[in-house]
């Protein structure tokens, strides 16, 4: 095993060492990025919102017209086995399904006899260090050059990869994607904005991934009576925000305190982001942590 991926990994019904998990160069995931994926956080060896993650996997598979290779219960059994075998209490489970490997290269779907390729593995959950959380992170805005079905969690992520690298090259943690003058999301996160005590969230459209963390935040806001508006956020509003947060299964809730080199609000993580982070921790600890 590597320090970042536990043995065994899951490949097409088998559990085997990573070093022995081979995939054909003709796999359509490799040739075309023709596949889907999920990332499920695990706390105290319990998968967080696994039903929701597996539902999103099923929705994305349906969206690309690929039959789900496993029933819900079978996916859960795979995830449970990986979690039990991995050495870490807190993990991140990666699942991927591609349209498999035919005996030739052809854009159109392969015959039904070609089985999908299913892969899953466990990694340690990499959390944000306390000092980074305390200062917040820098972000960059970039044009959203992705395709028109960003609601599908597909593995063809080149535009996201290039956007994130552009951010990293400028010393930033995330790239915020702007389409037609509106904020959509981050390269690998959803984005929330706070203005005058109201949390603003971009709506779920085909131009944004419906984040599992995003849903939890909406639920927590409602539960705690926090003012919230789900609506399009213009680039101008983004730049005038009091607070900006990025959210994802691995980042949880992280304040963006610098945008394109200018401070967001006071330039420090704001009170609503701190409050939401605390509600998120309380919720997570209530439903997940043992003892
Ligand atoms: N990314 N938007 C995009 C484009 C993402 O890639 C992600 C997550 C999210 C947040 O979704 P969730 O809250 O369900 O993690 C939003 C994962 C973590 C990744 O690609 O590694």
In this prediction, residue 289 has a pLDDT band, given cuts at 50, 70 and 90, of: low
Q: Tell whether ligand 1 has an atom less than 6 A from the beta carbon of residue 211.
A: yes
Catalytic residue among 81, 153, 204, 290: 153
156 has pLDDT over 60: yes
- The pLDDT assigned to 288 comes to 81
What's the rounded mean pLDDT across residues 17-44?
Answer: 98
User: Could you tell which of 144, 205, 211 is best to mutate to test the pocket of ligand 1, judged by most ligand atoms within 8 Å of the CB?
Assistant: 211
291 has pLDDT over 70: no
Sign of the alpha-carbon torsion through 123, 215, 160, 261: negative
- The pLDDT assigned to 23 comes to 97
Q: Which of 49-58, 98-107, 177-186, 279-288 is the least confident region? A: 279-288
- The pLDDT assigned to 56 comes to 98
Helix (H) / strand (E) containing 72: helix 72-85
Tell me the average pLDDT of the chain.
97
In this prediction, residue 108 has a pLDDT band, given cuts at 50, 70 and 90, of: very high
Q: What percent of the chain has pLDDT over 70?
A: 99
**Max Cα–Cα distance, the chain, nearest Å:** 59
What's the rounded mean pLDDT across residues 73-101?
Answer: 98
Q: What Rg do the C-alpha atoms of the chain give, in angstroms?
A: 19
Each residue of 244-269: pLDDT tens digit?
Answer: 999 999 999 999 999 999 999 999 99
Beta-carbon contacts of residue 138 (< 8 Å; ≥ 6 apart): 170, 171, 172, 173, 256, 257, 258, 259, 261
- The pLDDT assigned to 1 comes to 67
CA of 249 from ligand 1 middle (Å) equals 7
Q: Decide: residue 261, CB within 10 A, 0-12 exposed, 13-18 middle, 19+ buried.
A: exposed
290 has pLDDT over 70: no
Q: Structure pTM?
A: 0.97
CA of 187 from ligand 1 middle (Å) equals 8
- Nearest-CA residue for ligand 1 atom 19 is 188
Is 290 annotated as catalytic? no
CA of 111 from ligand 1 middle (Å) equals 31
Helix (H) / strand (E) containing 40: strand 35-43
Each residue of 167-217: pLDDT tens digit?
Answer: 999 999 999 999 999 999 999 999 999 999 999 999 999 999 999 999 999
């Amino acid at each position: 095993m590597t320090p970042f991926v536990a043995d065994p990994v899951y490949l097409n019904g088998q559990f085997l060492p990573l070093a022995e998990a081979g995939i054909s160069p003709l796999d359509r995931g490799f040739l075309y990025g023709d596949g889907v994926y999920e990332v499920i956080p695990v706390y105290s060896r319990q998968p967080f919102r696994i039903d929701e993650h597996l539902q999103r996997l099923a929705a994305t598979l349906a969206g690309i017209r690929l039959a789900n290779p496993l029933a819900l219960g079978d996916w859960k059994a795979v995830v449970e086995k990986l979690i039990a075998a991995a050495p870490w209490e807190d993990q991140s489970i990666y699942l991927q399904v591609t349209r498999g490997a035919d005996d030739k290269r052809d854009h159109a779907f392969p015959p039904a006899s070609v089985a999908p390729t299913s892969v899953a593995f466990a990694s340690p959950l990499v959390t944000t260090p306390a000092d980074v959380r305390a200062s917040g992170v820098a972000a960059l805005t970039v044009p959203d050059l992705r395709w028109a079905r960003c609601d599908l969690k597909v593995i063809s992520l080149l535009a996201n990869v290039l956007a994130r690298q552009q951010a990293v090259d400028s010393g930033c943690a995330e790239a915020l994607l702007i389409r037609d003058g509106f904020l959509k999301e981050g390269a690998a996160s959803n984005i929330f904005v706070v203005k005058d005590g109201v949390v603003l969230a971009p709506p779920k459209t085909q131009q944004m991934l419906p984040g599992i963390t995003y849903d939890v935040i909406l639920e927590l806001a409602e539960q705690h009576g926090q003012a919230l508006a789900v609506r399009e956020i213009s680039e101008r509003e983004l730049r005038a925000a009091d607070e900006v947060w990025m959210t994802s299964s691995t980042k949880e809730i992280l304040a963006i305190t610098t945008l394109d080199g200018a401070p967001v609000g006071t330039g420090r993580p704001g009170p609503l982001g701190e409050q939401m982070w605390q509600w998120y921790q309380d919720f997570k600890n209530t439903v997940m942590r043992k003892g």
